[in-house]
Structure 1
């Protein structure tokens, strides 16, 4: 086998492996974040209380809906 062909195959394999790894990692993280959202209603309520706001359930629901829409 010629040297340039071996080098070309190695480079192609590295690029293909990097691309496949990127997409698999991205898919895994999207599924993980969908199952375990980074913020929930209780955390949102606590943050609003720390900022000096009295959170109503309506306001919490609006903010959760906006964050869920942003994730999609």
Structure 2
């Protein structure tokens, strides 16, 4: 009977560890991406120039704002 309890406790501890690990990793990645966005204004400017567009600062700011709003949702 005691072996059954040990196995049961081990399984419960494993499930709790997996759930906690998932949520901690998710919170860490969300804060990391908020501090270090995957694309910045310089990257956006370079991308637009490669596509043959002459980027104005107004257009860059507008696209960055749209991407940030989209990221928050």
TM-score scaled to structure 1, two decimals? 0.92
Secondary structure of 2:26's partner? Answer: helix
Unaligned regions of 5+ residues in structure 1, if any? none
User: How many Å apart are 1:36 and its aligned residue?
Assistant: 0.9
Partner of 2:65: 65
1:41-65 CA deviation, whole Å, 9 max, x = no partner?
0110000000111111121111101
1:9-29 CA deviation, whole Å, 9 max, x = no partner?
101100100110111111111
Matches within 5 A, 1:1-72: 2-72=2-72
User: How many Å apart are 1:2 and its aligned residue?
Assistant: 1.4
User: How many Å apart are 1:39 and its aligned residue?
Assistant: 0.7
TM-score scaled to structure 2, two decimals? 0.91
Unaligned regions of 5+ residues in structure 2, if any? none
